[in-house]
């Protein structure tokens, strides 16, 4: 059963995270970030990508009646159901890989790679997909 309140709350949360990432993206590059600021940006990015994957799992369950066991299987299922284009799939793959690096290679310095991805505003895809997926869910009712 769909939970429209959750969908709306997730969208609002994603929008807030995107605004935070936009603030970082627009900052003067000559001003170094503090360790806390770096951690905040990394955490925001991780949460944003995780929320996209969770919404995709929700879409797959409620629109296609497909149960995906883990976030690692989401992209494959989306592509299988032709729910994202090849280009969107590649962008999602980049976001997932970067999230995984930040999440599991936390002793390495991945912030330059994240800053590069943020400057391209790749994360904006999340909001586009959220709107598309909730519209798709609405069309099945």
pLDDT of residue 57: 94
| Domains of the chain by residue range | 4-139
How many angstroms separate the CA atoms of 34 and 31, rounded?
9
Close Cβ partners of 42 (under 8 Å, ≥ 6 residues apart): 102, 110, 111, 114
How many angstroms separate the CA atoms of 115 and 102, rounded?
12
In CATH, the number for domain 4-139 is 1.20.120.330
pLDDT in tens for each of the 141 residues of the chain?
Answer: 789 999 999 999 999 999 999 988 888 677 788 889 888 998 999 999 999 999 999 999 998 999 998 888 999 999 999 989 999 999 999 999 989 888 887 666 667 788 877 777 888 889 899 999 988 888 875
Residue 64 CA, distance from chain mean position:
21
Say if CB 132 and CB 59 are below 8 A apart: no
| List of long-range contacts for 38-44, beta carbons under 8 Å, 24+ apart | 38/111, 41/111, 41/114, 41/118, 42/102, 42/110, 42/111, 42/114, 44/17, 44/20
Q: Which pTM value belongs to this model? A: 0.86
Q: How far is CA 68 from CA 87, 93, 104, 121, in A?
A: 22, 17, 22, 28
Q: What are the tokens at 76?
A: 């494959």
């Amino acid at each position: 059963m769909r939970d429209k309140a959750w969908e709306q709350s997730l969208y609002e949360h994603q929008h807030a995270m995107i605004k935070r990432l936009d603030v970082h993206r627009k900052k003067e590059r000559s001003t170094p970030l503090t360790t806390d600021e770096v951690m905040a940006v990394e955490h925001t990015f991780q949460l944003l990508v995780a929320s996209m994957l969770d919404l995709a799992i929700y879409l797959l369950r409620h629109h296609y009646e497909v149960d995906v066991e883990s976030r690692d299987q989401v992209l494959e299922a989306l592509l299988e159901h032709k729910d994202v284009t090849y280009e969107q799939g590649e962008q999602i793959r980049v976001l997932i890989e970067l999230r995984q690096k930040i999440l599991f290679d936390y002793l390495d310095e991945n912030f330059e790679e994240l800053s590069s991805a943020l400057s391209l505003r790749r994360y904006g895809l999340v909001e586009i997909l959220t709107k598309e997926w909730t519209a798709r869910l609405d069309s099945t009712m």
